[in-house]
Every structure is written in structure tokens, then in C-alpha cells.
Amino acid sequence: MMLKSSFALAAAALVAMAPIAATAQEAETAAPARKVYDPINYNLNEDLENILFLDLSNGERVGVRLMPSWAPNHVERIKTLARQGFYDGVIFHRVIDGFMAQTGDPTGTGQGGSELPDLEEEFNPMPHVRGTVSMARAASEDSANSQFFLVFYPRFSLDKKYTNFGRVISNMDAVDAINRGEPPANPTRILQASLASENKIKPAAAPAIMSDAPVTADDLNAPIEN
């Protein structure tokens, strides 16, 4: 009799546990897949749709690898604005030595942006190392629009607070040569921003404005006119 009772209790326990096991299995099946952050491809001849060229007024072309797996919406915004010619002629309005160079504001004041809506943040674990290209924003985490910055020197305090969406993969020396200041007295400009897939020719840097007339001793000694 006791044996029958033990079998009955064991069967009841199995029935009671079955829904719990099934629920746990369903939860495991429904768990979201872990996000994968692709490694950076430094080859300028591959995946041309995700290479941004910045042709600067210092005569240099900078190559930036855009990383859709890190921040898909931010990458798409940069591509959209580049195709529109939005960044052409825009200055680097905030350039801090040992930190970063910021651009993307057509007003050159740091207060402007595009007419497109602001973006929701896409913070990710990718570190802000030298050559990082990240989106600038205001106080709100969801206020990035068109401005971005290129990092001169690692600044890990920015990680998971600003959306890291790319990396300089060509000509970091040209980034280092961007004129400093807030704003610079003679700001470096983006003459043309384009995707490598567009195969646009690099524009010539603007020449310095000089007079063809020779300078004489009389010119140097002439009084300054008001």
C-alpha cells in the first residue's frame, strides 16, 4: 500500500514540475540573440558602401570605416547627409588638442544641425580610442543629428555615453593636422564628404589668396590706411 502511495506521489510531482520545465524551455528559446559587433575592416578596396571619404581643405583625404553593426541608424544618417552634400564646406568648429575635432554643423557655431529628426542613442561597448568617429549630441541622450567628432587620443570616459559609429582607417595624420580652436582662427573645412562607392574625385584644396604684384620696400614702409 505504501509502495502504491509512493508511486502516486512521484507521478503527481512530475506532473506538477512539467509546466515549470516547459516554461523555462520556452523562455530559453525566446531569449534574444546576443548582439554581434563586427571587427573593423581596414581595407580601402572592400565594402565601399561603408567607407566615408572626407576631403579636407588641408589638401588631404581621410578614410573612415562606417560600422553599421555598431550603430545602424547613425551610420545611415551619415550616409544620407553625405549623399546630399550636407557636409561639403562645413568647418571643424571645435578642435581641442589631445582630445578631438568636431564638425557637422552648417552654421559653424556648434548649435546647428540638419532638418532631419534627432536620432535615438545607439550606445555600444566599442571604446573611444585614437581614430574613433563618434556622434556629438546635446544634453539629451537622444539628441544626435548631424554633428560628429574624430578622436585624437583615447577618451574612455565617453564610452556608452556617445554613439561610436566608425574608425579612421586611412590618413590619421591629416586628422592630426586639423587646425585647433573653439572655433579655430583659420578653421579646416570638409570640402567634400562622399562614400567610396560613389567614386568621387578629390577636389583641389583652396589656394592661398596672394597678390601677383611684387612687394617693394616702399610697400613695407607705407603707412597703414584706416
Confidence bin at 28 (pLDDT 50/70/90): low
* pLDDT reading at 86 higher than 50: yes
Give me the mean pLDDT over the 169-173 stretch.
Answer: 98
Beta-carbon neighbour count of residue 63 at 10 Å? Answer: 18
Q: What is residue 155's predicted lDDT score, i.e. its pLDDT? A: 97
Q: Which of 37, 71, 69, 67 lies closest to 52 in space, CA to CA? A: 67
Q: What is the pLDDT of residues 123-143, one digit of tens each?
A: 999 999 999 999 999 999 999
Q: What is residue 225's predicted lDDT score, i.e. its pLDDT? A: 46
35: its cell numbers: 548582439
110: its cell numbers: 556648434
pTM score over 0.75: yes
Confidence bin at 98 (pLDDT 50/70/90): very high
Contacts 24+ apart (CB under 8 A), 115-119: 116/77, 116/80, 116/81, 116/145, 116/146, 117/145, 118/142, 118/143, 118/144, 118/145, 119/73, 119/74, 119/77, 119/144, 119/145, 119/163
